[in-house]
Amino acid sequence: MDSLGVVEVGSIASGVELADGMVKVASVELVRAATLCSGRFLIYVAGDREAVETSVGLARESGKRLTGSFVISHVSPQLIAALKRSEPAMPGEALGVVECRFVSPGIHAADKAVKRSEVRLLKFVSGQGIAGKSFFVLGGDVAAVREAVDAAGEVLGSRLLEAVVIPNPAESLARALTGAVR
């Protein structure tokens, strides 16, 4: 899998129908299909570039009310993994938290951050219960996390709400953010 397709639909029912059609029209993996705040529906599919383009193309040509759609080629495997599940933080590693105004730019920023620096993408939260925003958590040594957070900020520009680096987080905070500490 080297590409990620993202489709955001203005209706939950239409989104469910599109997700079904998207996985049937091409050989893609449905990474996630879920509701967002404000009654929208978000669909992530992964696979080779041609299959993902075909799948997202079906959504674009469906006549449904899309609020956004795009394909990222050469996507980081860390991003696809983080969309499926969170990774625990390592004891003593720095954490970076990047909060974005919207989901789609957050996905781009997380992908660029992990490609720019030697960090781990521990968690990506997209729009559910946070008013359509997104945030992600990075882990690694302090300098690498700072570099990755800066890269995310460059990608996001005015869509960045806040970004912080916590050099030596309390274990309880790391556990609360990522679900566990190794």
pLDDT reported for residue 178: 87
pLDDT reported for residue 127: 75
pLDDT reported for residue 182: 67
42-81 CB burial, b ≥16 within 10 A, e <16: bbbbbbebebbbbbbbbbeebebebbebebbeebbebbbe
Tokens at residue 112, please? 């660029």
Q: Coil, strand, or helix at residue 4?
A: strand
Domain boundaries, the chain: 3-73, 78-178
Fold match flag (3-73 vs 78-178): yes
Task: Say what angle helices 142-156 and 103-116 make with each other, to 10 degrees.
Answer: 140
pLDDT reported for residue 1: 76
Block means of pLDDT (10 residues each) for the chain, 182 residues, are 92 96 98 86 96 98 92 94 91 95 89 97 85 91 98 96 96 87 65
78-178, which class in CATH? alpha beta
- Positive or negative torsion for Cα 31, 26, 51, 8: negative
CA atoms of 105 and 133, how far apart (whole Å)? 10
Q: Coil, strand, or helix at residue 59?
A: helix
Look up the CATH superfamily of 3-73.
BMC (bacterial microcompartment) domain (3.30.70.1710)
pLDDT digits (tens, 9 = 90+) for 1-23: 799 999 999 999 999 999 999 99
